[in-house]
C-alpha cells in the first residue's frame, strides 16, 4: 500500500516566516543591548549597589549621576542654575589621583 503525502498546514502558512523573523530580531536586539552595556562599562546601573559617576569631568557640560537604591539622581553644576531645583553648586577644588590609588584634594 502506497501512502499519499499530503501538504501539511505548516508548509502553506505564510505567517510562520514572519514569526521566525520576529524571534531572530528579538535575539539580535537583546544581544546588541548586552554588548553596548558591557562595552561602555555600564553594568553598575543594573546592580543593587549605590554608585556615583561623573560624565565629562572638568568641562562645562559635566554631569554627576548618583544611584541610591532604586533612585537615580542627575546633577549638572553650572553658573546659572534653576532656583526650582534648589541645588546650587560651584567648583571648590581639584582632586588628583596618584599612581598608587591615593587621592589628594587641593582646595581653591
Binned at pLDDT 50, 70 and 90, residue 94 comes out as: confident
Sheet holding 51-55, edge to edge: 51-55, 63-68, 71-75
Q: What is the pTM of this model?
A: 0.37
CB 60 within 8 A of CB 78: yes
Predicted local confidence at residue 86, as pLDDT:
60
Span 33-61, average pLDDT: 78
Backbone angles phi and psi of 81, in degrees to 5: -100, 155
Most confident residue range from 52-56, 73-77, 87-91, 94-98? 94-98
SS3 3: coil
Higher pLDDT, 43 or 19: 19
Amino acid at each position: 500500500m502506497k501512502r499519499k503525502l499530503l501538504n501539511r498546514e505548516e508548509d502553506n502558512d505564510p505567517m510562520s516566516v514572519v514569526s521566525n523573523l520576529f524571534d531572530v530580531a528579538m535575539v539580535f536586539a537583546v544581544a546588541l543591548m548586552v554588548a553596548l552595556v558591557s562595552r561602555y562599562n555600564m553594568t553598575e546601573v543594573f546592580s543593587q549597589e549605590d554608585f556615583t559617576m561623573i560624565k565629562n569631568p572638568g568641562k562645562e557640560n559635566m554631569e554627576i549621576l548618583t544611584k541610591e537604591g532604586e533612585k537615580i539622581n542627575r546633577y549638572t553644576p553650572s553658573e546659572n542654575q534653576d532656583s526650582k531645583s534648589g541645588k546650587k553648586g560651584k567648583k571648590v577644588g581639584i582632586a588628583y589621583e596618584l599612581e598608587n590609588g591615593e587621592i589628594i584634594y587641593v582646595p581653591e
